[in-house]
Amino acid sequence: VEHITPESLAQRGGDRKHSSFVEDDSVPQKFRALLKDYYRSGFDRGHQVPAADCKWSQKSMDDTFYLTNMCPQVGEGFNRDYWAHFEDFCRRLTVKYPSVRIVTGPLYLPQKEADGKWYIKHEMIGNPPSVAVPTHFYKVIFAEDGRTDGNVALGAFVLPNARIANSKPIADFEVPLEAVERASGLEFAAKLPPQRRRRLCTDTTCALVIREFADKQKAFPKA
C-alpha cells in the first residue's frame, strides 16, 4: 500500500543508484525469499511499491529494495516496459488529484485447460523451489479530490505477468473491484460509501505515456 502526493513525488532525497536488493531479516529464514532464488531464474525482482515513488529519503528508497517488496516478474515487455509505464501513469494522476493511494499485489488465477476444467498453474523459482511466480498482478487505485468527504475516483486493474505490447490500452485491463477482491481475498473499499465513488477511467483519461525506461535503467538494479 502506498500514498503519493505532488509534494511527496517532488522530493529528491533518495537515489536508487545507492540502493541494493536485500533479504528481509524480519521474516523467519525458512519462509524468507533469498537473493539466490532469483539468480538465473529468468525473472526480474519486480517492485510492488515502486522505488520511483519513494524518493523523499534514501532510507525510504532503500526500503523498497527488500525482497518482501518484490515478486518475480517477466522482465522485457513487462517489468521494464508496460508495468513501468503503468507505474508512471499512477504518478501522473497526482497532476489532477492531490492524493493518490495505490494497493499492488500478486494474483494466482485459474485457467481453463483442454479437459474443460479450471486449474491454477504457476512456476516456482529457487533451489529448493520456494518462491511462487504470480500469474497476474493487480493495482487498486484511489484518486482523491482533496476535499473532506469528497469524491474518490476508483480503478481496479489486473495485468498478466507476461509481455504486453505498449500499444495495448491500459483500460483493457480494468476490472470490477469485486473481481480483485474475490481473487485476492481482500476487501479494499468497505468503508468508502458508494455515493463518494467515481470510476477512474470515466473521471480522467486512462492512457499510458510510453517512455523508453529500459535504456535509462540498464545501469541500475533491475526492479
**Residues that are catalytic:** 47
Distance separating alpha carbons of residues 122 and 135, to the nearest angstrom: 6
CA distances from 8 to 64, 136, 138 (A): 15, 28, 23
Contact 163, 76 (CB under 8 A): yes
DSSP helix/strand/coil, 155: strand
CA distance 109 to 158: 10
Instruction: Write the CA distances from 166 to 46, 68, 85, 209, 211, integer angstroms.
Output: 18, 28, 9, 9, 10
CA distance 123 to 16: 29
Bridge partners, 66 (sequence order): 22
Q: Is 79 annotated as a binding residue?
A: yes
Binding residues for Mg(2+): 79
